[in-house]
Amino acid sequence: MLRTALTSCILALVLVLQAGSGQAFETRAKAAFVLDHTTGTVLLSKDADVPLPPASMSKLMTLYVAFEAVREGRLKLDEELRVSRHAMSYGGSTLFLQAGERVSVRDLLRGIIVLSGNDACAVIAEALSPDGTEAGFAREMTERAKGLGMTHSTFANSNGWPDPRHRMSMRDLAILSQRIIEDFPEFYEMFAEQEFVFDETESQNRFNRNPLLGLGIGADGLKTGHTQEAGYGLTGSVVQGKRRIIFVISGLETEQARAREAEAITNWAFRQFTTAKLLEAGQVVAEADVWMGEVETVSLAAEAGLETLVPVGGSDKISAEVVYDGPLEAPVEAGARVGRLLIRPEGLEPTEVPLVAANAVAKGGAMVRLKLASGRVLRKIIAGAEGAL
C-alpha cells in the first residue's frame, strides 16, 4: 500500500482551503452523533457505536417497517386495526386505547410520531408480526435493521419499553433517520406536526415533544425519547438553506437540558461549518508508478466531484493523502479504480474519494522488458561490488 504526496494542483487547493477547525462541540450528552446529511460529513461522534437504551427513539424502527408495509400494500392507511389487551396494558405515553377498539392505521402512525404512543406501536406490531405477537415483530425489526446497515441494534419490543435486550447506537439511529427521510418522503411530513388530537375527551397527550419544532429554525423531525435508564434523548433533523443535519443525543438529565443541547448542536452545526467544492470530477490529483508499462506512470483522477463541509475560522490545514496498491501492473485501463484520496478536515472524520486511471497504459514490449532486466542485473552487480569492499 503506497501513500503518496499530492500533486501541486490539489495541494494548492488544500492550502487555499485553510478553513481550520471551528470550536469542537463539547456535548453534555452521554452519547451523540451529528451528520451533515447533504454531504455525508460526520461532524461529531461521541460513543456513537455503543449500544444504549434508546427509549422511544426506537419507535423510528417500528415506523420504518410500517411505512414499508403500507407501500407494499400489506397495510392500508384507512384500514382499522383491533386493539389487544396487551397493547392496552402499556403505560407511559399512550393514546389511551381500549381493548377491542378499532383504530385506523393513519391515526396509529400519527399517534406514534406525534404523541409517542406505546400502545399504538403494539397495535401496529401485532398486525405485522409473523406470529401475531409483539415479540415476533421485534425479532423482525432486528433483522430488518441489519439489512439497513444498523449493526448495533437489537429490539425486544416495538416502542422502547425498558428491556436489557433492547439497544441501539446513536449512529444506527442516524442511519435509520436518513433512510426514513430518503425512502418515505410521502410520510415524512408527519414528523413536523406539533399537535395531534386523537381523542377530544383526552387532553393529556396531544403535543409533539420535539423541542425544536416551534423555534422556526427549520426543524422537521424526528423523535424524542425518555426513560429513567436512558435519560432524555432526541433524534433530530433540521434544514437550513440547502443543508440538512441529522443528530442524535442521549443521556441528558432533564427535558430542559435536552432542549438546550439540541438547539446548541443545531446552531453549532450550521454556523461553524461551510460547504466547499474540493474536487471536480476527472481532476488529476497524483501520479502512480506503473510496472511493465509502455510508460512508467499513470495519472490518478477523482472519479466524482467532491463537495464537503469544512470548518470556518481558525488556521489549521486540511490534510489530504493518496493511497493505492503499487506499482500498478500494466496494462492499466482508463477509468479503472486504482486508488483513493483521503481528505481530513481538522476535527472531522476523513472523506474518501475513489481515484481512477486518467489514461490507459499498455503493457510494454520487448524493449521495456529488456530495460527492466538490464536494470536488475546492474543492481546485482553494484550490490556485489559494494559487498566485496
Confidence of residue 6 (pLDDT cuts 50, 70, 90): very low
Say if residue 232 is in the same domain as residue 341. no
Confidence of residue 389 (pLDDT cuts 50, 70, 90): low
Lowest-pLDDT range, 78-92, 173-187, 331-345?
Answer: 331-345
Please give the residue that has the higher pLDDT: either 347 or 180: 180
User: pLDDT > 90: what percent of the chain?
Assistant: 71
Residues 264-298: tens digit of each pLDDT: 999 999 999 888 888 899 999 999 999 888 898 99
Say if residue 159 is in the same domain as residue 243. yes
Say if residue 126 is in the same domain as residue 176. yes
Provide the domain limits for residue 294.
2-18+277-366
Report the alpha-carbon distance of residue 332 to residue 312 in Å, rounded. 40
Number of separate domains in the chain: 2
Active site residues: 56, 59, 116
What count of residues does the chain have? 389
Res 8 pLDDT > 70: no
Q: What CATH number is given to the structural domain containing 247? A: 3.40.710.10
Say if residue 220 is in the same domain as residue 135. yes
Lowest-pLDDT range, 47-51, 259-263, 272-276?
Answer: 272-276
The pLDDT, as a whole number, for residue 17 is 40
Q: Who contacts 68 (Cβ-Cβ below 8 Å, separation ≥6)?
A: none
Q: Who contacts 57 (Cβ-Cβ below 8 Å, separation ≥6)?
A: 160, 168, 173, 223, 224, 225, 233, 234, 235, 248, 250
Residue 296, C-alpha cell as written in the block: 512508467
Say if residue 122 is in the same domain as residue 88. yes
The pLDDT, as a whole number, for residue 10 is 42
Res 87 pLDDT > 90: yes
3-state secondary structure the chain: CEEECCCHHHHHHHHHCCCCCCCCCCCCCCEEEEEECCCCEEEEEECCCCCECCHHHHHHHHHHHHHHHHHHCCCCCCCEEECCHHHHCCCCCCCCCCCCCEEEHHHHHHHHHCCCCHHHHHHHHHHHCCCCCHHHHHHHHHHHHHHCCCCCCECCCCCCCCCCCCEECHHHHHHHHHHHHHHCHHHHHHHHCCECCCCCCCCCCCECCCCCHHHCCCEEEEEEEEECCCEEEEEEEEEECCEEEEEEEEEECCHHHHHHHHHHHHHHHHHCEEEEEEECCCCEEEEEEEECECCCEEEEEECCCEEEEEECCCCCCCEEEEEECCCEECCECCCCEEEEEEEECCCCCCEEEEEEECCCECECCHHHHHHHHHHHHHHHHHHHHHHHC
Lowest-pLDDT range, 45-59, 85-99, 163-177, 201-215?
Answer: 201-215
Res 184 pLDDT > 60: yes
Q: Is residue 371 part of a domain?
A: no
The pLDDT, as a whole number, for residue 200 is 79
Calculate mean pLDDT across residues 248-265. 98
Calculate mean pLDDT across residues 158-162. 98
The pLDDT, as a whole number, for residue 7 is 40
User: What predicted TM-score, i.e. pTM, was given to this entire model?
Assistant: 0.81
Say if residue 130 is in the same domain as residue 226. yes
- Find, among 96, 350, 108, the residue nearest to 204 by Cα: 96
Q: What CATH number is given to the structural domain containing 308? A: 2.60.410.10
Please give the residue that has the higher pLDDT: either 8 or 173: 173
Confidence of residue 5 (pLDDT cuts 50, 70, 90): very low
Q: Is residue 199 part of a domain?
A: yes
Calculate mean pLDDT across residues 315-324. 76
Residues 298-310: tens digit of each pLDDT: 999 999 988 888 8
* Domain finish residue from 271, 305, 335: 271
Res 313 pLDDT > 90: no
Q: Is residue 375 part of a domain?
A: no
Mean pLDDT of the chain: 88
